[in-house]
Amino acid sequence: MKIVHQLLSGWGRVNPRDSRVCYPTTPFEIEKVLGGTNEPIIARGLGRSYGDAAVSDAITVNLSTFNFFQSWNPQHGIIRVSAGTSLKQILDFVVPQGWFLPVTPGTQYCTVGGCVAADVHGKNHHIQGSFSKFVHSFDLMCSGGSLLTCNLQTNSDLFFATLGGMGLTGVIVWVELQLTPVQTIYITERKRRIQSWEECIEAFQEDNPNEPYAVAWVDATTSIGKGELWYGRHTNEDELPKLVKPYPKKKSKEPWTVPNLFQNSLVNRRTITLFNRLKYLNSPKRSQTTVVPYWEFFYPLDRLLEWNRLYGKSGFIQYQYVVPFETNPTFHRQIVELCLQNGQIPSLAVFKRMGKGIQEELPTYDHSLKYLPTLSFPKQGWTLALDFPMTNGLLPLLSRLDQMVIEAGGRVYLAKDVRLSPETFRKMYPELSIWKNVCRKYNDEIRFQSSLSKRLQIC
Amino acid sequence: MLIKQWILIGATSDIAKALIQYNEFEPHALMLCAKNSALLSQMVDDLKVRKPQVQTNPITIDLSQIEKVNWLASVIQKTFTEPYGIIYFAGILDDDETASKEKIIAMNHVNFLFPMLLFEEIFKNPSETKCQSIVVVGSVAGDRGRAKNYRYGATKAAIDTYLSGLRQRLFNFGIHVLTVKPGFVKTKMIQHLTKTPLAATPERVAKDIWKAIQKRKMVIYTPWFMRWILFILRHLPEKWFLKIKF
C-alpha cells in the first residue's frame, strides 16, 4: 500500500500536521495497513470535520476512495454502503427513487463513516434525533484486523461507543442505513425575520411536526439577536403545480471552487459586518413560503467548494455548544456580548433547538445497557455554532466560553473542536470512563488515535 | 448507432469507476478487467445496485504480463457477438529516479505494449471484427517530455502515435478510435504528488470521455483548456523549454 506524506488539517485549516496517508479501497487493504505497522491510525473521509478529529501525526487512512454501494432495498429504503461513500452519492442515487436521508448535516460532501463517527445532527434534530438513530448496523475493524458487526443486538456496547466515538474505536467499514420516503425532490421552505433572542427561542418552542426542519441564522455582529429563521418540510406531490415533475432530471449547478490564493483572511471585521447586514436586509419582513430543490435548502454552502480557503492561511474555528433548555435565555446574548467585547466578531452564527440525544433516549432502545458508553454530542437544549476567523485573542476567549458552557451544564462539539483542554473535556463528557472501558475491551492496544484524542488525552 | 456493450480495461481506475457510475452511461453489458479481484467484486456489487439492468462480467488480469494478451483477445472475441467497444483506462505512473528496471518495464507494458498487442490481435482482420470503437486514456505528458515525468510521457507518446496510425488504418472500416488526453486528474495515480495544478475530478473526465464517444471525436483534451496549454507548450522553442521549471 502506497503511503504518501501530506500536510493535513481539519476543515478549519488550523494546526496542519505532517501525516502519512494511505488510500485503501477494500476492507482487505485496510487490514493490511493495520497489520503492517504498530503506529497509531485514524480514519479520515472528506475532511469536513472542522477540528483535528481526522488528523494525525502518524498514519491517516483516507477512505474517501472507498465508496461503494453494497446492497439496496428499494421497498424498505435500506441501503448498505462503504464508509467512504459521500452523502451526495447516496442522495443522487436514492432521491429519484423517492427516498431521502432522514438526517443530514449542512454539507453533502461528507462520508457516511464520518457521519457515524461524529454522530452528526441536522436541522430536524429536535424531531428526528441524530444520524445514529438511522444506522441499522455497521462493520467495524478493530485493532485485531477482523470485521465486527455491530448493532443493537450484537456488540451493542461497541455499537454505541462508535456512534459519536470520533473514529477511536476502530475503522468503520460498511454501514447499513435506514432512509425515509419522500414524494418530491422539493422542500417547502418558510422564512421569517426575527428581531431578538427571545423571539427566536419562542419561535422554536412552537412545536411543529409538520415542519420538521428548523434553523436560525443570527446576526452576531451585534448582541441583539436579529436574524432569520428557516422552517422546511418535504413537499408533497399534490402541492406541486401541474407542469412540475416531482423528480425532475435537473441537477444542482456545478459548484465553484475557491482557489487557494489567499494568504490573509477575506473574512474580516468589515466583510463580516457587511455580509451580516446585507443578509438581514435580504430576509423577508413577513413570513414567506417558497418551494426549492433540497440542495438549496440543506446545502447552501456546497455551492462554493473549498470555501474554507476564504479564511486564508490562518484558518478559522467553529465553536458549537449545546446548553439545556433550563438555561437562562439571555445566556446566548451574554456569549455573543463577551465575544464582541473581546474584539472577536463571529462571521456566522447558527442557532437551533436540539431534541434528546442518544443517552437521553436510552429507555427506547431494547437492550441491557444501563448507561450508554457514548461521546455523542447532541443532547436536549439550545445549540449555537459560531465561526471565528483565527486571530490572536481567540483561544483565551474560547476558554472563557468553555467555563460558561460547563456552568450551564452544556458541552462543546468534538467534531468542530481544535483547542479544548483535557480537563474541560472531562467535565463536558462524563461518559468518558465507561466509553474508555468499551474501547479497551475490543482493542488490545491503543491503535486508533487522532490529534484530537492525543490533545484531550482520551485514550 | 450507439454501442451498448463495453469492455473496460483497468476498470478499477478512478476514471473508469466514475464512468461506470455516470448516469448517462447506460450499457447493456460490461466486461470489467482489472488486477485487484477484491476491488473488482466490490465494483460489481456496486454496479448491481446502481444499474441492475447491466450484465457484468468481471475478469481478473494483470496487464503487466503481456503474454496474457492473446488469452484476453480470445475471451473478448468469444464473449461478444454484437458490436462492442473497448475503453482502455489502465496506466502506471512510476516515474522517479529511483524506479527500478522492473518497474519501468511494467510501466511500458501496461501503458503501451499491452494495448498495442491487444488491438493488433483484435484488428488482425478489421472487416470481420465486432469491435466498433476503441478509446484509450493517454496523457498530456505524451505531448512533450518534461524532466518530471518523461519516462511516463514517453510511453504515453508511444500510444498516442500508435493510435493515430491505427485510426487512419481503421477509418475506412468505420471503426472509431479516440485518444483521451487528460491533464492532472485527482486519482490514485497522483496521490503522492504535492503540486497538481488545475487538477480535474475523475467525474468530469468520465463525462468528457462519454460525450466524445457519442460525438465520435478523435482526440480530446480534458479539461478542454489543456488543449491550449499544451499547444503553447508543444510550440515552445527547445531553448526556452529547457529553462522552464515545472
A7 to chain B: closest CA residue: B194
Where is the domain boundary, A182, A202, A230? A182
- Any idea what the CATH number is for the domain that residue A236 is in? 3.30.70.2520
Sheet holding B219-222, edge to edge: B55-60, B29-34, B5-9, B84-88, B131-137, B176-182, B219-222
What pLDDT score was predicted for residue B203?
92
- What proportions of chain A, in percent to the nearest 5, are helix, strand and coil? 30, 25, 45
CB contact under 8 A, A70 and B36: no
Which residues touch B5 (CB under 8 Å, ≥6 apart)? B27, B28, B29, B30, B31, B80, B82, B83, B84, B85
pLDDT value of position B246 = 67
What mean pLDDT do residues B120-143 have?
Answer: 94
User: What are the start-end ranges of the H helices in A342-389?
Assistant: none
Q: Measured between alpha carbons, how far is residue B195 from residues A184, B41, B192 in Å? A: 43, 33, 9
Residues A126 and A178 in one domain: yes
- Domain residues for A205? 186-246+261-422
Answer yes or no: is A141 within a domain: yes
Q: Are residues A117 and A193 in the same domain?
A: no
| Under-50 pLDDT residues of chain A | none
pLDDT in tens, B169-199: 999 999 999 999 999 998 888 887 777 888 8
Do A94 and A202 reside in the same domain of the chain? no
Residue of A nearest to B187 (CA): A65
A121 and A203 share one domain = no
> Secondary structure of B84-149 in the HEC alphabet?
EEEEECCCCCCCCCCCCHHHHHHHHHHHHHHHHHHHHHHCCCCCCCCEEEEEEECCHHHCCCCCCC
- Give residue A100's pLDDT: 97
Q: What is the pLDDT of residue A367?
A: 65
**Number of domains composing chain A:** 2
Per-residue pLDDT of B72-110, as tens digits, reads 999 999 999 899 999 999 999 987 788 889 999 999 999
Bond from prior residue into B223 cis (ω within 30 degrees of 0): yes
Whether the per-residue pLDDT at B33 is higher than 90: the answer is: yes
Fold of B5-241: Rossmann fold (3.40.50)
| Neighboring chain A residues of B42 at a CB cutoff of 8 Å | 25-26, 68, 70, 82
DSSP A283: S
Q: Which of A106, A36, A26, A100 is nearest to A63 (CA)?
A: A26
Same domain, A327 and A354: yes
Note whether A219 and A291 are same-domain residues: yes
Q: What is the pLDDT of residue A445?
A: 81
Contact B192 A28 (CB under 8 A): no
Q: What is the DSSP string of A388-415?
A: EE--TTHHHHHHHHHHHHHHTT-EE-GG
Tell if the CB–CB gap between A4 and B42 is shorter than 8 Å: no
Alpha-carbon gap: B224 to the closest alpha carbon of chain A (Å): 16
The percentage of residues in chain A with a pLDDT greater than 70, rounded to a whole number, is 99
Task: Dump pLDDT digits (tens) for B146-164.
Answer: 988 899 999 999 999 999 9
The residues spanned by each domain of chain B are 5-241
Q: What is the CATH number of the domain that holds A86?
A: 3.30.465.10
Assess whether A287 and A266 both reside in one domain.
yes
CA of B39 vs chain A CAs: smallest distance (Å): 6
Q: Give me the pLDDT at residue A366, please.
A: 64
Residues A414 and A293 in one domain: yes
The predicted structure's pLDDT at residue A371: 81
Same domain, A168 and A192: no
For residues A231 and A343, membership in a common domain is answered with yes
